[in-house]
Structure 1
C-alpha cells in the first residue's frame, strides 16, 4: 500500500534522527548503480542537461511576493549554517528552482541536504558521494558528461540530486519512504528516511495570509 507523507511523519523517531544529526560527517549511504531502461537513462540525461539558469519568472505579482517572502524566511533560518549572504541567497534560489523543476517540495530537498551534507558544498562521504546532495560520482558517467568534478558545483549538484530523487519517487510509485531509502542506498531501513522527514519540518514555510 502506498505510504502517505502524513503517516510517515507519525512514524518519525528522534533516536533515528539523532544518529544523523549528531555527526558532522557527510551522511550519504552507498547509492547503488542500478540497471535501468534506456528510456529512463535518456530521460535523466535530458533532465540534467538543460542549462536554464535558476532565475524565477512570475506572471502574478502575488506569486513573486510569496517567493520573496520565502527567500527572506529561509535566508534567516540558514544564516547560522551559511553566514555569507550572497552564497546563501544563490543556494536558496537554486534550491527553489531545481526542486520545483523536479516536482519536489523545497522543504523536502532542504531536509535531505541537512542530513546528507549539513549544507556543505564540498562535503565528501566515506563512499565518495559529493556536494550538497551527496551525489555519487558514477552518476556523472551514467547520465552526464563523465566529469565528476562538476558535482561540486552548486547548480549541477542540485540538478543531479533533485532529478535522481524524482526518478526514485517515480520508481517507488510515490512511496517517499522507499524512495528516500533508495536515494541513500539503504532501502527498507528506517533511519535515513526518518531523519530526512524529521528535518523537512525545519524548512517548511507557511505563506503569509
Structure 2
C-alpha cells in the first residue's frame, strides 16, 4: 500500500543542484523564506482588486479539474498570487511550473526526492531554514521556497528565464524542461494581469 502511494505521488522533477551560496545570498534567501506573512493580497485601488478577483475567477475555473473544492482552490490560488507577486514572478509562470513539477499535487515526491507543489529539494530546508524537509509539504511554505529559489536563479542568470528554469530543474542549458514550463505557463496567462 505504501509503495503504491509513493509511486502515485512521484513527480517528474529533476534534481536542483546544491551550489555554494555567498553569505549575503544565503542571508537574503533565509529572510525571504522566514518571513511568515500571511498570504493576503493588498491592493492600491479598486481596479487592482477587481483585476485580482477576475483573475481568481478565471484561474479557479481552469484549476477545477485538479482541485474540485472552491475553498481549496481559493486558498491555493490566493497563495500563488501572493507568493509570486512577493517574489516578482508572474502568477502564470508559477502555475506553469507547478503544473510541470507536480501536476498540482501537494504531496508529490520525485524520484530524486524533490517535494511538494514546486518540487523543492530537501537540501534547501537545511540551507535556508531549520532542516525539516517535511515542511515542504505545507502549501505556503512550498510555494514560498519555490518562488524564492526561482527568483534567486533568475537573478543569477540576469533575468534569462530559460536558463533560470534549467537551473531550477538541474538541467541548465537543456530545452525540454524550460520549454515544458513555458508551454504550461501559456495555459495560465490572464489578460490584464
**Normalization by structure 1: what TM-score?**
0.87
Q: CA deviation at 1:201?
A: 0.2
Q: Does 1:39 align with 2:24?
A: yes
2:162 & 2:180 partners in 1: Cα distance?
Answer: 11
Distance 2:41 2:157 in 1: 30
Count residues in correspondence.
Answer: 186
Residue aligned with 1:104, SS: coil
Range moving further from structure 2, 26-35 or 160-169: 26-35
Identify the residue that residue 4 of structure 1 maps to in structure 2.
none
- State which of 95, 104, 109 in structure 2 corresponds to 1:110: 95
1:86 correspondence with 2:75: no
- Of residues 107-116 and 56-65 in structure 1, the stretch that sits farther from structure 2 once superposed is 56-65
Secondary structure in 2 matching 1:36: coil
Q: Deviations over 1:143-169 (max 9, x none)?
A: 111111110000000000000000000
SS of equivalent residue, structure 1 residue 165: helix
1:135 aligned onto 2:120:
yes
Q: Which residue of 2 aligns with 1:74?
A: 59
CA RMSD of aligned residues (A): 1.4
The aligned residue for residue 144 of structure 2 is 159
Stretches of structure 2 lacking an aligned partner (at least 5 in a row): 1-8
**CA apart distance, 1:25:** 4.4
SS of 1:177's equivalent in the other structure is helix
For CA contacts below 8 A with separation 6 or more, give which structure has more relative contact order.
Answer: 1
Encode CA deviations 1:161-182: one digit per residue, 9 max, x unaligned. Answer: 0000000000001111110000
Superposition deviation, residue 28 in structure 1: 1.0
List per-residue Cα deviations over 1:133-152 (Å, max 9, x = no partner): 00000100001111111100
Q: What is the CA distance between 1:207 and its match in structure 2? A: 2.9
Distance 1:139 1:38 in 2: 15
> Does 2:155 correspond to 1:170?
yes
Shift of 1:85: 1.3
1:189 maps to 2:144: no
What's the secondary structure of 2:38's corresponding residue? coil
User: What TM-score does the superposition give when structure 2 sets the normalisation length?
Assistant: 0.94
Q: Which runs of 5+ in 1 are unaligned?
A: 1-23
